[in-house]
Structure 1
Amino acid sequence: MVLRLNIHQIEPATRDWICKVQIVEIGRPRESLDKKCTFQNLILEDEQESQIRAVMYTDEIEQYAATLKLFNMYVISTARVKVSPPSYGKPIHQFYWILDKETIIEQIKPSNEVEKPLPPPTKLNITSFDHIPHLVVDSAAEIDVLAVVLRCGPQKNVGRSHHKCREITLCDNQHYHTPYSIVLMFCILKQNQFLFTLWEDFGEIEGHEISSKMATETDLLVILGRSIGISTYQGLSLQTRYNSTVRVNPNYPQAVALLNWAKENKRLLLSSPSNTTSTSSSIAPMIVTPSGQQLISIAEISSAPSMGVFYIQAEIAILDEFQDFCVLECSRCKQKKRTKDRKDFDCPKCNRKTSLVPRCSFQVDLIDDTATTTASISAELGEKLLSITVEDIFDITCTKRQSLSLNHVHEMLSGKLFEIQLRKSSWSSSNTTTITLSILSYMEKEHTTPSATNRTSKRIKPLEIGEVEVMATTAAAGPSNALGKFEPPTPAKKV
């Protein structure tokens, strides 16, 4: 007897079953990691909106190329049911199906009077950008994102390797419905941005499609990315992985609503942060951090069991007024250079002649009732704190060889308490491991305390990792390797 079942009722031991589904996602054929076969991923959804991944290989891809289409309905009989491997992140279901030669796939025509048509799919398990920082401790985490594409970079090689990628900037609209002021709304939109790296064929195919559409269409684009990985290399970013799929302007109700919102807010979304930062700016930095997060003290950061994102309340001060407030880096690979000369040079990492561009980067002191530590602040966050553009910083400190005046910054920071989002990260060279703290965001709290420069500060103990020698974060006064959240990070290595 053939059993009519839904997806959640079917297991590897189930025999003689049929299931009515529709295709809600269909990837393009891709090569396996070992280059030995071609595969194609599909996501199927049943009458109860349960979803499962199905995969076809070379022969079946060709056999069903004309039959299997997005949003069409099918009755599938006795596909091979396998346990989802954990090696490629967290799957949407504990099992997956293999559609092979022994599987029977029958299309349900719209005119079919027996089979009731399934409603258009609406189920999306989207992760908001606010929640992404809390997932970085799980390196295997894979998420689905729905976001607006703000910028799309060119296809490029990563360093000296043969790997290629394309970087695009995404923004979601988690807070768009709240009646914020224009200034605060701008800061929130900039906070809700992530760099998304399309690796290898994703950059060549989906990336090319995105770039072409942005060049020819007047409206912004919306993309749906499934099984997207989270990278923490030199900052928090997103990246395509083995099972990822990327679709442009999908016809889900959520995507249509986001696209309409992007049309209404196009000018605000495409506003350049550098254009809104000037030496005459009187607007205090207002970078909004997620609410309701657990706050810890500075002293507790040293005992935190892992790298990651932390939230503290502290004063901010710039005690070292003679540090470099900007660095020069390659305009392509973002590699920092120890020079003050902006002339073009042959970058060994990019393997081409390129130019050097300045990036704001400096150290600040964070002070609470338990300790004092040093953290780096970079890019637009640093420019906003100093109320000056990076071009002006470079002109003053590098071209004119003058000290940067910080009187207005000291006055602005004096007696103020901030809620600060920090990233704790590490990097190693030789037998030394260095722990660094970088500021991802900050927001002024309605609280007054004594000036940070007038109080007796405590220094935290050096942060330690295993048996290796560790340099304390408070010891370094030079620019940190950790980048701010708005800085497009160097692409992570392909996994």
Structure 2
Amino acid sequence: MSVEVLVNDVKPNTYQWTCRLTLIEKQNIRTAKTSPMKFMPMILQDSTGTKVQATAFQGDIEGIDQRLSVYSTYLISNAYVKPVTQMRYCIDVNYPYVWSFNRRTLIQDVDAPEGVDFREIAESETAAFRDIFDSYQHATRINILGAIVKKLPRTFIVSDGKQRTAWDVVVINEECIPLPFTMWEEFVSKHGGEIEKLLNSGGYPLVLINRVAINLFQGLALSTRYDCHMELNPDGARALSLKKWVDGNAIKIATLVQDKAYNDALSIISKPLAQPRSTLSGLETGLLEVIVVWVLGKFSLVDTSQEFFYIGCNYCNRRVYGPEGITFQCLFCGQKLGTTTKR
């Protein structure tokens, strides 16, 4: 007979156990890097807040995917448990194990723990936009909640000689900070159609993104990663408050989009003049513990006879053989209204 336990009580040598868990994330189906094997990671949480990653593989994916629903609670019995091989794949540092689900895993529907709203918990764990640059500096993974207010022209990018689907959208929240956000491949396939439909109808879809990637491409931008989780139009209290704000500030949002304020996200969030500055000699010490360093200096041209620019796409900066000021569709990034610009 199985005994009901908490996640922390389940180890590889634990037998005949049952755990009450709520599914809080169901990630995209992915293919292993070194083999054609497909797998679908999921994240579950018990009543104490301890999280565990469980994975379904190959022929078990469809059955498990149909059986489990996000924010529903189940009794899970006797899943396969093994240690995490690399801690970067550990979803909870206090529980260094992962589970595997298959068609033999016993799954029973039960009521959620009384007084626990996992939707509210997920939304409360989101970061403020003003803290995103600091998170980047310290390589901290964050979650964000925002409204998608515009889709930009790009539809693909050429990377490592391959054309990959990539959509750029603009997200905003109550802080009035618009940020560019890139959705890659499977996220476009899964959510792109609904996002475009809502935008075309005049609506602004809300999006909750867990473990969003932060990069400094052309300033500051966000993007999906292989282990991101995206949820469109979450319906917790935090999301409802954001939706009310968006509906009441449509004119302000439209002005920010028209002014392309999202192109200046790095300056808005990082506030360079308020940041500590380094000297050039300080950069050579190798003792800096942050990713971005601000240096106050003056440029001087040693040789004014040479050219200090090339002609390239105004979006992806890739070189294009042509004169300046031509409107074209870039074959590197898919920008349909690209402009040849000095770079």
Question: TM-score per shorter chain, which class?
Answer: 0.7 to 0.9
Q: How does 1:390-405 map to 2 (within 5 A)?
A: none
Task: Tell me which of 332, 335, 339 is aligned to 1:349.
Answer: 332
* 8 Å Cα contact 1:84-1:91 kept in structure 2: no
* 8 Å Cα contact 2:23-2:70 kept in structure 1: yes
Q: How does 1:34-183 map to 2 (within 5 A)?
A: 34=34, 36-86=36-86, 91-93=91-93, 94-108=96-110, 117=114, 119-121=116-118, 122-124=120-122, 125-136=125-136, 142-153=141-152, 154-158=154-158, 160-173=161-174, 176=175
Q: How does 1:333-412 map to 2 (within 5 A)?
A: 333-335=316-318, 341-344=324-327, 349=332, 355-356=338-339
Taking structure 1 as the reference length, what is the TM-score of the superposition? Answer: 0.55
Deviation of 1:47 (Å): 1.7
Matched, 1:228 2:212: yes
Q: Could you tell me which amino acid in structure 1 is paired with residue 2 of structure 2?
A: V
Deviation of 1:220 (Å): 1.5
Deviation of 1:162 (Å): 2.7
Deviation of 1:231 (Å): 3.1
* 8 Å Cα contact 1:332-1:354 kept in structure 2: no
Query: Which residue number in structure 1 is paired with residue 8 of structure 2?
Result: 8
Q: Deviations over 1:327-382 (max 9, x none)?
A: 864256443558653235685635899652558xxxxxxxxxxxxxxxxxxxxxxx
Query: Which residue number in structure 2 is paired with residue 309 of structure 1?
Result: 292
* 8 Å Cα contact 1:88-1:243 kept in structure 2: no
Deviation of 1:259 (Å): 2.1
Deviation of 1:273 (Å): 6.6
| CA distance, structure 2, for counterparts of residue 63 and residue 346 of structure 1 | 43
* 8 Å Cα contact 2:2-2:77 kept in structure 1: no
* 8 Å Cα contact 1:328-1:342 kept in structure 2: no
Query: Which residue number in structure 1 is paired with residue 264 of structure 2?
Result: none
Any gaps of 5 or more consecutive residues in structure 1? 177-188, 278-285, 360-478, 480-495
Q: Secondary structure at the match of 1:271?
A: helix
* 8 Å Cα contact 2:156-2:163 kept in structure 1: no
Q: Deviations over 1:236-283 (max 9, x none)?
A: 432222222211111232222222222222222232476499xxxxxx
Matched, 1:198 2:195: no
Q: Deviations over 1:412-447 (max 9, x none)?
A: xxxxxxxxxxxxxxxxxxxxxxxxxxxxxxxxxxxx
Alignment CA distance shift 1:130-1:226 (3 Å)? same
| CA distance, structure 1, for counterparts of residue 272 and residue 333 of structure 2 | 40
Any gaps of 5 or more consecutive residues in structure 2? 262-266
Cα RMSD between the aligned structures?
Answer: 4.0
Alignment CA distance shift 1:221-1:51 (3 Å)? same
Q: Could you tell me which amino acid in structure 2 is paired with residue 335 of structure 1?
A: R
| CA distance, structure 2, for counterparts of residue 49 and residue 223 of structure 1 | 23
Taking structure 2 as the reference length, what is the TM-score of the superposition? Answer: 0.76
Deviation of 1:105 (Å): 0.8
| CA distance, structure 2, for counterparts of residue 166 and residue 355 of structure 1 | 15
Q: Could you tell me which amino acid in structure 2 is paired with residue 225 of structure 1?
A: I
| CA distance, structure 2, for counterparts of residue 145 and residue 303 of structure 1 | 35
Q: Secondary structure at the match of 1:259?
A: helix
Deviates more, 1:327-336 or 1:39-48: 327-336
* 8 Å Cα contact 1:330-1:354 kept in structure 2: no
Task: Tell me which of 246, 259, 262 is aligned to 2:243.
Answer: 259
| CA distance, structure 2, for counterparts of residue 100 and residue 356 of structure 1 | 52
| CA distance, structure 2, for counterparts of residue 66 and residue 204 of structure 1 | 19
Q: Could you tell me which amino acid in structure 1 is paired with residue 7 of structure 2?
A: I
Deviates more, 1:71-80 or 1:119-128: 119-128
Q: How does 1:291-330 map to 2 (within 5 A)?
A: 295-299=276-280, 301-303=282-284, 305=286, 308-311=291-294, 329-330=312-313
Alignment CA distance shift 1:291-1:45 (3 Å)? farther
* 8 Å Cα contact 2:166-2:183 kept in structure 1: yes
* 8 Å Cα contact 2:47-2:113 kept in structure 1: no
Q: Which has the larger radius of gyration?
A: 1
Alignment CA distance shift 1:28-1:117 (3 Å)? farther
* 8 Å Cα contact 2:324-2:340 kept in structure 1: no
Alignment CA distance shift 1:11-1:143 (3 Å)? farther
Q: Secondary structure at the match of 1:308?
A: coil
Query: Which residue number in structure 2 is paired with residue 207 of structure 1?
Result: 192
* 8 Å Cα contact 1:155-1:204 kept in structure 2: no
| CA distance, structure 1, for counterparts of residue 90 and residue 245 of structure 2 | 31
* 8 Å Cα contact 1:23-1:45 kept in structure 2: yes
Q: How does 1:458-477 map to 2 (within 5 A)?
A: none
* 8 Å Cα contact 1:134-1:309 kept in structure 2: no
Q: Secondary structure at the match of 1:48?
A: coil
Deviation of 1:48 (Å): 2.2
| CA distance, structure 1, for counterparts of residue 309 and residue 254 of structure 2 | 25
Deviation of 1:5 (Å): 1.7
Count of residues paired in the alignment? 326
Q: Per residue, is there more helix in 1 or in 2?
A: 2
